[in-house]
Amino acid sequence: MAETERPQLYLITPPEFDLDVFPDRLGRVLDGAEIACIRLALATKDEDRLARAADALREVAHARDVALVIESHLMMVERLGLDGVHLTDAARSVRKARKELGSDGIVGAFCGASRHDGMNAGEGGADYVSFGPVGSSPLGDGTQADRDLFSWWSEMIEVPVVAEGALTGDLVESLAPVTDFFGLGDELWRADDPLAALEALIARMG
């Protein structure tokens, strides 16, 4: 990616949200900033709850020409009229997902901080690879995806890369030249004004 291009924005929903409130919050962010993609990342395995959330967010996203992918639930993509899937098992399911969704569906793969998994996911047909967390997070095993990984990836690999997880203004400033997307979730939704929080991070992208 050219050094002068600003990374695109990729929104990640909270693991749990109120269907009466969150779609409007999301809509306000979409109306105030240019967003490339949204990931429905509910923690629940309840299909009915997932379907209702997907229906509500699809309406908000597609009205604004923004793609909506769902985390992990490959078999629900076509049924719910979504744009693709975000896989959380590195490269393991990428080929299957690509076969299932054809060339038009979005297939993304979260690969932690593993260069090897990222390369395998790219070879398997992933449209993007995400690495993270880039900041220190109480979740996970303490592994962090550092700037060197993104720097190497952006020089050597053509598959777009997403930086996500515990992003701060300083990290955004540091990673902006070496990532294609920033995946933003809690960084926005825990703020009283998610759009203002997003604008503050965009300002650090240079």
How far apart, in whole angstroms, are the C-alpha atoms of residue 4 and residue 136?
27
What sign results for the dihedral spanned by CA atoms 54, 163, 34, 107? Answer: negative
What are the residue boundaries of the structural domains of the chain, listed by start? 8-203
pTM above the 0.85 mark?
Answer: yes
Cβ count near 129 (within 10 Å) = 27
Handedness of CA 177, 69, 60, 193 (dihedral sign): negative
In this structure, are residues 26 and 60 in contact, taking their beta carbons and an 8 Å threshold?
A: yes
What is the distance in angstroms between the CA of the first residue and the CA of the last residue of the chain? 15
Q: How would you write the pLDDT of the chain (206 residues) with one tens digit per residue? A: 344 589 999 999 999 999 999 999 999 999 999 999 999 999 999 999 999 999 999 999 999 999 999 999 999 999 999 999 999 999 999 999 999 999 999 999 999 999 999 999 999 999 999 999 999 877 677 889 999 999 999 999 999 999 999 999 999 999 999 999 999 999 999 999 999 999 999 999 98
Q: Which CATH architecture has domain 8-203?
A: Alpha-Beta Barrel (3.20)
d(CA 135, CA 118): 19
Look up residue 168 and give its two tokens. Answer: 């701060």
Radius of gyration of the chain (CA): 16
Length of the chain counted residue by residue? 206
